[in-house]
């Protein structure tokens, strides 16, 4: 049998996946709204209990953990927003920003117009991909720092929307810096964002103003003693936990083994990660369909609630040794061990002074 070319492998994989999932692309608004409302309600209820002085320390700790996981699930819907057509789930963009985006200072514009670049085949895994770093080629200490620094994300967000953003409205040079380097959820620090245009521009300004007013209001209430400093500190800790959870997921969303050169669609798929059942913990650390990240890269327009069924169909149609099952991995621990093992090899082989 003649081996298939890279182009033929790409076409075969994409064509098969598209054919088997053609009926699954319809978003179900009831599921989106129910999931978001439940996650938000559970998250804020846990947060209020954790921030209060009622109950013992263990109850508040448990409430804080519940809040972190529930709000993390709510935050994860920002990923869906970047792929959803506005008409698919009416009002969801507004609802998500009101319930999650503005209160947590994570407006949707920080991801919209940026995440889609990660899905451009010619950009993926290269220096032009804002969501890719060759983590497997970095030293273990760099991976640890990559995780630790995420705990400071809430401080950065409050500084951005309470201080830098408002100042930049009156200082054009600072505004350019804020737009280019402090308005995107990315991991490639060399990425420079273009200013928004058209409808996006007005959405951006509206959300930025809302975030700034919210940040000023909360800080004023803390200064006046209406919100206890301890309670605000708990809020920041929970927000940090959400950021760390997301960074842990990011560490294993891909294998991060590319060296910066363009990759074929098949190579991009295999560099991405599925963590399907029977593992159950992925529901917590990779919610809203993120456990099927490789499948998402293959079919980015598929709604999160359809990914499980799509995965089962593809596994049944393409069992081992076909390409599709090779993107599936057992769980978080296995992926972390693989990443740090590759990183350790890099540390041993790299010349002193390199990353």
- What does the pLDDT look like over 252-273, one tens digit per residue? 999 999 988 999 989 999 999 9
pLDDT digits (tens, 9 = 90+) for 228-241: 999 999 999 999 99
Please indicate, yes or no, if residue 219 is contained in any of the structural domains.
yes
Please indicate, yes or no, if residue 205 is contained in any of the structural domains.
yes
Domain that holds residue 211: 28-251
Please determine, for residue 290, whether its predicted confidence score (pLDDT) is greater than 60.
Answer: yes
pLDDT, position 4: 59
Q: What is the pTM of this model?
A: 0.94
Q: Into how many domains does the chain fold?
A: 1
Neighbouring CB atoms inside 10 A of 334's CB total: 13
Q: Quote the CA–CA distance of 345 and 355 in Å, as a whole number.
A: 13
In DSSP terms, 274 is beta-bridged to 292, 328
pLDDT, position 179: 97
DSSP-derived 3-state class of residue 288: coil
SS3 of 20-89:
HCHHHCCCCHHHHHHHHHHHHHHHHHHHHHHHCCCCCHHHHHHHHHHHHHHHHHHHHHHHHHCCCCCCCC
347 vs 127, more confident = 127
pLDDT digits (tens, 9 = 90+) for 163-214: 999 999 999 999 999 999 999 999 999 999 999 998 899 999 999 999 999 9
**114-139: average pLDDT:** 94
CA distances from 242 to 17, 35, 152 (A): 33, 17, 11
Please indicate, yes or no, if residue 213 is contained in any of the structural domains.
yes
pLDDT digits (tens, 9 = 90+) for 210-224: 999 999 999 999 999
Please indicate, yes or no, if residue 174 is contained in any of the structural domains.
yes
Query: 114 with 184: CB under 8 angstroms?
Result: yes
pLDDT, position 5: 64
Structure token digits, residue 91: 């009002």
Please indicate, yes or no, if residue 268 is contained in any of the structural domains.
no
Per-residue burial over 23-48, b = 16 or more CB atoms within 10 Å of its CB, e = otherwise: eeeebeeeebeebbeebbebbbebbe
Please determine, for residue 28, whether its predicted confidence score (pLDDT) is greater than 60.
Answer: yes
Please indicate, yes or no, if residue 190 is contained in any of the structural domains.
yes
Please determine, for residue 286, whether its predicted confidence score (pLDDT) is greater than 60.
Answer: yes
Give every CB contact of residue 149 below 8 A, 6+ residues apart in sequence.
none
Calculate what percentage of the chain has a pLDDT beyond 90: 85
In DSSP terms, 328 is beta-bridged to 274
Q: Quote the CA–CA distance of 276 and 218 in Å, as a whole number.
A: 40
pLDDT, position 9: 73
Split at pLDDT 50, 70, 90, the class of 3 is low
pLDDT, position 11: 80
Q: Quote the CA–CA distance of 326 and 328 in Å, as a whole number.
A: 5
Please indicate, yes or no, if residue 230 is contained in any of the structural domains.
yes
pLDDT digits (tens, 9 = 90+) for 315-344: 999 888 888 999 999 999 999 999 999 999
Split at pLDDT 50, 70, 90, the class of 351 is low
Please indicate, yes or no, if residue 324 is contained in any of the structural domains.
no
**41-64: average pLDDT:** 94
Q: What is the mean pLDDT of the chain?
A: 93
Split at pLDDT 50, 70, 90, the class of 1 is very low
Determine whether 107 is exposed, middle or buried from the number of CB atoms within 10 Å of its CB (0-12, 13-18, 19+).
buried
């Amino acid at each position: 049998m003649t081996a298939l070319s890279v182009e033929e492998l790409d076409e075969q994989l994409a064509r098969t996946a598209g054919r088997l999932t053609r009926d699954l692309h319809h978003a179900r608004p009831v599921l989106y709204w129910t999931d978001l409302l439940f996650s938000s309600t559970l998250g804020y209820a846990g947060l209020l209990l954790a921030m209060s002085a009622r109950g013992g320390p263990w109850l508040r700790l448990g409430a804080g953990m519940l809040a972190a996981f529930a709000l993390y699930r709510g935050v994860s819907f920002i990923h869906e927003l970047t792929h959803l057509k506005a008409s698919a789930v009416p009002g969801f963009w507004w609802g998500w920003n009101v319930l999650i985006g503005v209160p947590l200072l994570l407006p949707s514009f920080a991801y919209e117009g940026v995440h889609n670049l990660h899905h451009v085949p010619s950009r993926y895994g290269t220096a032009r991909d804002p969501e890719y770093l060759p983590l497997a080629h970095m030293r273990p200490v760099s991976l640890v720092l990559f995780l630790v620094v995420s705990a400071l994300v809430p401080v950065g967000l409050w500084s951005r929307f309470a201080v830098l953003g408002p100042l930049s409205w009156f200082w054009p040079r600072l505004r350019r810096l804020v737009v280019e380097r402090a308005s995107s959820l990315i991991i490639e620090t060399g990425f420079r964002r273009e200013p928004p245009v058209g409808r996006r521009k007005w959405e951006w300004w509206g959300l930025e103003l809302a975030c700034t007013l919210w940040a000023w209001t909360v800080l004023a209430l803390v200064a006046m003693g209406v919100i206890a400093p301890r309670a605000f500190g708990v809020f920041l800790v929970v927000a940090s936990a959400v950021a760390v959870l997301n960074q842990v997921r990011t560490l294993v969303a891909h294998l991060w083994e590319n060296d910066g050169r363009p990759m074929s669609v098949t190579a991009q798929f295999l560099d991405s990660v599925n963590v399907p059942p029977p593992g159950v913990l992925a529901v917590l650390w990779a919610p809203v369909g993120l456990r099927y990240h490789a499948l998402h890269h293959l079919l980015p327009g598929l709604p999160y609630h359809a990914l499980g069924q799509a995965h089962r169909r593809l596994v049944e149609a393409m069992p081992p040794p076909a390409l599709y099952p090779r993107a599936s991995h057992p769980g978080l621990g296995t992926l972390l061990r693989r990443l740090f093992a590759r990183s350790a090899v890099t540390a041993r082989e790299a010349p002193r002074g390199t990353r």
